Structure 1
Amino acid sequence: MVDPNLRLIDASTFLKIPEGEGFPELWSGYEAYKEEHIPGAAYADLLKDFTNPEGKAPFKIATREQFLKAVEPLGITDETYVVIYDRGPLVNVDILASDWSARLRWQLKYEGFDNVAVLDGGFRKWKLDGRPTESGISTYKPAPFPGKRREHLIVSKEEVKAALGDENIVLINSLSEADFRGETTTYPRPGHIPGSKHAFFGSHSDPETRLLYDDATLRATFEKLGALVPNKKVITYCGGGIAATWNALLLNKLGQENVAVYDGSLNEWAADESCPLVTG
């Protein structure tokens, strides 16, 4: 019997990184959701409904008004709990992370809702385990969203600039090693924000089980970066504020609650010549 307080949400979004130069392709996962999803799951279109179309950087977080309109059909109330899953970060690279789910989870947390989890392994693991799926569209009874926005969970470009050189703030770049070193051409300028530590968001799961490593292993990774030191603040960033939310989720899981996401990330930072970047 399905728990009437469960809100199961498919947040699949598709991103394809070009092999050479050029901009990434990005599209909604709605058609894939209609074709096949976990039974009872509703769909949240992060690209269409949960993003501000007037944002200066791709995938800028929705305004409060836009968010409330988008989230109401999901039927989230104080009595419900939310579980989110997706089909993986990229369509052309098998990376073990659920960053689209983490993005929606972070957005719900930002807007004031905490009773939310991400399905470890996502839809791919669900399918590999031979679990049931269905086609069509599932919905929940619409409800006014109960939370209040927490501005401190997301930082701006100006706040990141102010954080440079601050020993009490740890900046974490969540992209690949090649992106971090500045060997790719995905963003307007190559490199990483000065002083950033590196933790590739796709390195936290076991390739054999496709599930997250245990907490001890995850803790060792982030302790090396100084990200679990009490009284320090952590700012995670990536290319467009998606992968960064996966690292933010894991830091929260390990007990570090003082975590903010730089929503504009390198799409915004690298486009501004006044914002420093380093390579290597």
Structure 2
Amino acid sequence: MLQAAGHEAVVVLDGGLQKRVRENRPVETGEITPVPAEIAAVPRDGMWADKQDIMDMLGETDRATLIAAAPYLPEDISEIPAGAVRVMSRVIPGSVSVPYPAMAQPGSTALQPTEQREHLLAAVPKGAPAIVYCASGLSAPLIGLSLVSAGHKEVKIYDGSLDEWLSDARNPTESRVRPS
């Protein structure tokens, strides 16, 4: 996300502070006095997709791979809000499902090892552009990050995601099927 705003010197603290402490890595403590600074965010072209981009590529799977990053519906949906069920059960036609929870190690905030992430992303061709979407635009960047770290060069995030897509009943959708 910060790179999309024009910042190049960005890294991810994979697993967060908890993982760093568990691994006995250096951590500084004490009072910190922030230094005021101005940051000029300049959006970079080519990192975001919009609804029109998706409409333009429907039926043309050679243009880009659409990736649905929302989690699969659980077996018991009795406590899931109806709106969430609707979003999690639909995809844009031609999408490949790569649910974002699969990218994290179970019970952890750390990403899966590189080999596991590459296995999960195997259905996404490396030489073609990829457009990632989720339910609301919040989870898609994790899959985008995983794609970039696996060597994909052209990755865009459709930040309108299914919230925007499903708001227009004329937009095509398909039922999302959980693999067996």
Superposition TM-score, scaled by structure 2 size: 0.78
Q: Which residue of 1 aligns with 2:38?
A: 144
- CA distance 1:124–1:242, shift in 2 (3 Å): farther
Answer yes or no: is the 8 Å Cα contact 2:148–2:155 preserved in 1: yes
In structure 1, the residue corresponding to 2:121 is in which secondary structure? helix
Answer yes or no: is the 8 Å Cα contact 1:187–1:270 preserved in 2: no
Query: Is the aligned partner of 1:112 residue 2:6?
Result: yes
Q: Which residue of 2 aligns with 1:42?
A: none
Answer yes or no: is the 8 Å Cα contact 1:174–1:243 preserved in 2: yes
Deviation at 1:188, TM superposition (A): 6.1
Query: Is the aligned partner of 1:246 residue 2:142?
Result: yes
Answer yes or no: is the 8 Å Cα contact 2:124–2:130 preserved in 1: no
- CA distance 1:123–1:240, shift in 2 (3 Å): farther
- CA distance 1:133–1:243, shift in 2 (3 Å): farther
- CA distance 1:177–1:140, shift in 2 (3 Å): same
- CA distance 1:193–1:126, shift in 2 (3 Å): same
Instruction: Give the whole-Å Cα distance in 2 for the aligned partners of 1:139 and 1:165.
Output: 54
Answer yes or no: is the 8 Å Cα contact 2:103–2:117 preserved in 1: yes
Deviation at 1:211, TM superposition (A): 3.0
Instruction: Give the whole-Å Cα distance in 2 for the aligned partners of 1:248 and 1:117.
Output: 14
Mapping of residues 147-186 of structure 1, within 5 Å: 148-166=42-60, 167-178=62-73, 185=82, 186=84
AA of the residue aligned to 2:140: A
Q: Which residue of 2 aligns with 1:191?
A: 90
Pairwise CA RMSD of aligned residues?
3.0
Query: Is the aligned partner of 1:220 residue 2:114?
Result: no
Aligned residue among 204, 225, 231 for 2:103: 204
Answer yes or no: is the 8 Å Cα contact 2:67–2:133 preserved in 1: yes
Mapping of residues 1-280 of structure 1, within 5 Å: 106=1, 108-126=2-20, 140-145=34-39, 148-166=42-60, 167-178=62-73, 185=82, 186=84, 190-207=89-106, 211-223=110-122, 225-228=123-126, 230=127, 232-279=128-175, 280=177
Unaligned runs of 5+ in 2: none
- CA distance 1:265–1:111, shift in 2 (3 Å): same
Deviation at 1:128, TM superposition (A): 5.6
Deviation at 1:173, TM superposition (A): 0.6
Aligned residues: 168
Unaligned runs of 5+ in 1: 1-105
Instruction: Give the whole-Å Cα distance in 2 for the aligned partners of 1:178 and 1:134.
Output: 41
Deviation at 1:165, TM superposition (A): 1.7
Instruction: Give the whole-Å Cα distance in 1 for the aligned partners of 2:55 and 2:85.
Output: 19
In structure 2, the residue corresponding to 1:110 is in which secondary structure? coil
Answer yes or no: is the 8 Å Cα contact 1:121–1:210 preserved in 2: yes
In structure 2, the residue corresponding to 1:272 is in which secondary structure? coil
In structure 2, the residue corresponding to 1:235 is in which secondary structure? strand
Superposition TM-score, scaled by structure 1 size: 0.52
AA of the residue aligned to 2:63: N
AA of the residue aligned to 2:67: I
Answer yes or no: is the 8 Å Cα contact 2:16–2:109 preserved in 1: no
